[in-house]
Homo-oligomer: A and B are copies of this chain.
């Protein structure tokens, strides 16, 4: 059970309610009134909990679970232990996500401005805002309704935040316009100067960075991630992008809708990323490139040229995954042959 010091539980809910909200169906409709208290992983769940099974790696745990109810794909329904009420879904992980959100909706800070916060002149605060102790909201910033600004976070002058955003502790925001329902996790820095200068041994000459950062709706920005503002254009993050921790996004970069970037990714300046692109951890992309819709870049991949829509690439320089692995296999084979002769 989640630690009640940190997580406030709702519920219980009837199994039918869970099915309805998660677009699932009950394997046995006579169980619709079953009262379910909590969510839990397969191994820890008890008779009052609902769990889920989605990753075959955990099939053993599914077959042994003592959960009272379980979300599962219909193809695996017959692997469930007797007595587990089954909530069938073709997307069990997503269904479980919706169920877990019912029990544990995002925490709501009490509305109001802490007397230990600093609010500048001309700031507009929407109804229901919560401004934590130590937060600094500078002149003329706009904070949408129900948005939460965490302790010691900084919202720069004229920055605009939409409704229902959550800005974490020690976040720094400047020169940016942010949509609704955006979460920025602790320590992220958004809107600072990009890395723009004309190199010169007598002293590099800075290019004023005159763009902004525009972040759409429903985005998640990870802890200690950095997003530079544009140099002449804006840096743009499309709706529904999920950006993990310690990621670098350079000036003028444009991310389409729904992109997924794992931790420690780096994207150099002026590169454009199509909708629904996915980048594995520690991958990097050079500047001024175009990455097509739905392209996937493997972890630690290094992209030095445009990538077409739908391509799956990895390695440095990034190449199609099959090519990369065939090359690795060739090298392994050749090395082994050498080894057989020489050792």
Q: Chain A residues in contact with chain B, CB under 8 A?
A: 2-3, 5-7, 39-41, 44, 55, 57, 91, 93-94, 96-98, 100-101, 103-106, 114, 116, 118, 120, 132-134, 136, 138, 140, 150-154, 156-158, 168-172, 174-175, 183, 185-189, 191-193, 195, 197-201, 203-208, 210-212, 218, 220, 222-226, 228, 232-233, 240, 242, 244-246, 248, 250, 258, 260, 262-264, 266, 268, 276, 281-282, 284, 286, 288, 299-300, 302, 304, 315-317, 323, 326-332, 334-335, 338-339
Contacts and interface: CB of A to CB of B under 8 A. Distances in A.
A150 B154 contact: yes
A214 to B, nearest CB: 10
B327 A331 contact: yes
B338 A330 contact: yes
A260 B196 CA distance: 11
User: How many copies make up the complex?
Assistant: 3
A245 B228 contact: yes
Contact of A189 (B186, B205, B242, B302): B186
A152 B262 CA distance: 28
28 contacts: A2-B211, A5-B140, A5-B157, A41-B232, A94-B205, A96-B198, A101-B208, A105-B208, A118-B133, A133-B136, A151-B156, A152-B152, A156-B169, A168-B172, A168-B192, A186-B191, A186-B192, A187-B188, A189-B224, A195-B220, A223-B226, A244-B248, A262-B268, A263-B268, A264-B266, A266-B282, A299-B302, A329-B335
A274 to B, nearest CB: 13
A100 B197 CA distance: 11
A172 B187 contact: yes
A27 to B, nearest CB: 21
Instruction: From A6, A157, A171, A204, name the one whose CB has the most chain B CB atoms within 10 angstroms.
Output: A6
